[in-house]
Amino acid sequence: MSLPRRDFLYGLGATLGTAALNSFTQAEDAPSAIEEAGPLAAKQGHFAAKAKSCIFITLAGGPSHIDTFDPKPVLQKLHLNEFRRDDKFASAMNGGKRYYVASPFRTRQVGQSGLWMCDQFGHLPKVADELCIYRGCQAESVNHPTALYHINTGNRFGGDPAIGSWVTYGLGSLNQDLPGYLVMPGRVLPQGGAANWSSGYLPANFQGTPLRPQGSPILDLNPPPGVSTRTQRRNLDLLAELNAAHQQRHPQHEDLSARMASYELAFRMQMTVPEILDIGGETSRTLRDYGTEDRVTGEFGRKCLLSRKLIEKGVRFVQIYQEGWDSHDFIADAHGRMIRTVDQPIAALIADLKQRGLLDETLVVICGEFGRSPDNGVRSGGVSYGRDHNANAMSVVFAGGGVSGGRYVGATDEIGGSAVEVVHPIKDLHVTLLRMLGLDDNKLTYFHAGRFKQLSQVGGEVIDELMA
C-alpha cells in the first residue's frame, strides 16, 4: 500500500527528521506562506533588552524555598508544635493534624551582598552577587502535572504553547542551522510529558526539540553507513525537484515549502549538531568546574555545559529539567542530595557565562512548579520531617539578562507559608520574563479558535521590582 505524503512526513518519529520538521512545519490553520528568510529568522523585539536568550532551569517536584533561599528562624522555636485554631500562623493548616517543621539546614549570608543561603550550597555562594531571588511568586495548583503545565505554558491543563515557543515565535533564532528551542529532560520525562514544551496552537516550527539524555541526543543524527555527504546532497536536490513539481500541481498546499525546508535543516544539523553536543573539546578545567565526570553532578553538569554551548551558538531558548524535588519525607536527605546535584553545575554555568561575556545577554531562570509548606502531617511512625506542596509561596532565582544581582524581591510571612510582599501570580512572572527579553505580552499574540491568544492567557502586569 502506498503511503500518502502527509502521513509519511508526520510519521517520521523521534528522529533528526522530526527535529527539523518541528522547526519548519506550519500548523494546519497557520498563515500560509513562510517568509523568504525562514520562520526562525531573528526578529526585533518590542523593546530594547539586554537579554537575547534564556536558559530556564526547571527543578521539577517543588523545591523548598524555606530550606534553600528563604530561611525562617521562627520555625526553630515552633518545631514539632501542633497547629492550633487560634495560632496566628494557622492559615497554613490544610486539615488533619499538622506540625511545624524546622529546616534541618543551617543558613548563612554569602557574597558581598549578604544573601541568605542554606549551608548545603558550597559552590553557589561564589556567584551569589549575580543572583536576584524573587520571593513573592504564587502558583495556582499543588498538583504536579497541572502546576508544571502552568509554569511552562500559562495553562494548568496543557495544550498551550510553552514559554520557549512564545519566545522563539517572537524573536526567532540566532542560528538557522539549529532549532530555536531545545529541551534537556531527565531520564524520566517530567509529569505531563512532552506537552511541557509543546508549541500548542503556534506553528510547529516553534515547539521544543528534546535532546535524549542517553545515547545519541537526536536519533538518526548521522547518515547511514556508506552514505556520503555528497550523496545526501544529491538526494536532497532530487527530492527538492520532485517536491517543487508536486507543489506546482497542488498550489493549495501552501505549507509544502516549509516541509521541504525541513529536509534542508536536517542536512545542516548533521554538520552542526555533533560538534556542539561533543564536550570533549572543552578544557579539563571546564569539565572539572561543571562536575561532568563526578558521579553526583555529572549528568546535570553536562546539561549545564551543553546549555552554554547551545546559547553560544545562537539557540534562543534552552530548558533543563532536574527531577526529584518532591520531598514529603526526610527533607534533610532528600533535598540535601538534590542540592548537591545542581549546586556546582549551576554555579559553573553562571561563572562561565560571565567569563565569556555572555551573562548580560543570557537570562538564567531557576525555579520549580511551586514551593513547600512550613508544616507536615503524621506518617506511620510519627511526624515526617518533610514538607507538603505549597502554591502560596515559592522562590524564583534570576541571574544575568540585565537583572541586577545580589538582592531579594518580595518576601514571605514568618513561617514561609505565604507570600506577603510584591505578591504576583505566575502570569505576571511570564509577562516579566517576556519583557526582560524585549517582548510585550499584549503584542505577542496569535489568532486561534476565534480570538487572539497570549502566554498570560488574559493579560498580566510586569513585576517592576524585578526590572529595576
Report pLDDT for 229: 63
The least confident of 15-24, 98-107, 414-423 is 15-24
Find the mean pLDDT for residues 402-413: 98
Question: Which amino acid would we find at residue 254?
Answer: E
Residue 21 lies inside a defined structural domain of this protein: no
Report pLDDT for 83: 74
Residue 323 CA to its chain's centroid (Å): 12
Q: Tell me the pLDDT tens digit for each residue of 293-343.
A: 999 999 999 999 999 999 999 999 999 999 999 999 999 999 999 999 999
∠ CA 123-126-128, rounded to 5°: 110
Q: Helix or strand or coil: residue 270? A: helix
Report pLDDT for 25: 42
Q: Which residues contact 259 (CB under 8 A, 6 or more apart)?
A: 9, 21, 24, 25, 243
Report pLDDT for 248: 76
Residue 8 lies inside a defined structural domain of this protein: no
Enclosing domain of residue 366: 52-213+282-467
At 39, the pLDDT band (50, 70, 90 cuts) reads confident
On the question of pLDDT at 213 being above 60, the answer is: yes
At 34, the pLDDT band (50, 70, 90 cuts) reads very low
∠ CA 417-397-385, rounded to 5°: 40
Report pLDDT for 376: 87
Provide the grid cell at 2.
502506498
Residue 43 CA to its chain's centroid (Å): 21
Asked if residues 185 and 321 have their Cβ atoms less than 8 Å apart, the reply is yes
Asked if residues 17 and 125 have their Cβ atoms less than 8 Å apart, the reply is no
CA distance 33 to 35: 6
Mean pLDDT of the chain: 86
Residue 314 lies inside a defined structural domain of this protein: yes
Residue 340 lies inside a defined structural domain of this protein: yes
Asked if residues 424 and 136 have their Cβ atoms less than 8 Å apart, the reply is yes
Find the radius of gyration of the CA atoms of the chain: 23
In terms of Cβ atoms closer than 10 Å to its own Cβ (0-12, 13-18, 19+), residue 336 is middle
How far are the Cα atoms of 28, 324, 327, 385, 386 from residue 335, in angstroms, in the given order?
45, 9, 7, 11, 9
Domain with residue 444: its CATH number is 3.40.720.10
CA distance 122 to 366: 17
DSSP bridge pairs for 421:
411
Find the mean pLDDT for residues 117-136: 98
Residue 10 lies inside a defined structural domain of this protein: no
Q: What are the φ/ψ torsions at residue 366 (nearest 5 degrees)?
A: -130, 120
How far are the Cα atoms of 45, 143, 446 from residue 437, in angstroms, in the given order?
8, 29, 18
Residue 26 lies inside a defined structural domain of this protein: no
On the question of pLDDT at 16 being above 60, the answer is: no
Percent of the chain with pLDDT over 70: 77
Q: What are the φ/ψ torsions at residue 135 (nearest 5 degrees)?
A: -105, 5
Please name which of 334, 345, 398 lies closest in space to residue 103, comparing C-alpha atoms: 334
Q: Helix or strand or coil: residue 184? A: strand
On the question of pLDDT at 444 being above 80, the answer is: yes
Quickly list DSSP for 343-398. Answer: HHHHHHHHHHHHHTT-STTEEEEEE-SSEE-SEE-EETTEE-SS--EESS-EEEEE
CA distance 50 to 388: 38
On the question of pLDDT at 87 being above 70, the answer is: no
On the question of pLDDT at 467 being above 60, the answer is: yes
∠ CA 376-297-357, rounded to 5°: 110
Asked if residues 41 and 35 have their Cβ atoms less than 8 Å apart, the reply is yes
Locate cell 540585565: which residue? 402
Report pLDDT for 6: 45
Q: Tell me the pLDDT tens digit for each residue of 269-295.
A: 555 666 778 898 999 999 999 999 999
At 13, the pLDDT band (50, 70, 90 cuts) reads very low
The least confident of 50-64, 69-83, 256-270 is 256-270
Residue 226 lies inside a defined structural domain of this protein: no
Q: What are the φ/ψ torsions at residue 301 (nearest 5 degrees)?
A: -60, -40
On the question of pLDDT at 150 being above 70, the answer is: yes
Quickly list DSSP for 433-444. Answer: HHHHTT--TTTS
Half-sphere exposure of 148 (CA within 13 A, CB side): 24
Residue 236 lies inside a defined structural domain of this protein: no
Domain total of the chain: 1
338 vs 204, residue with greater confidence: 338
On the question of pLDDT at 267 being above 80, the answer is: no
DSSP bridge pairs for 390:
371
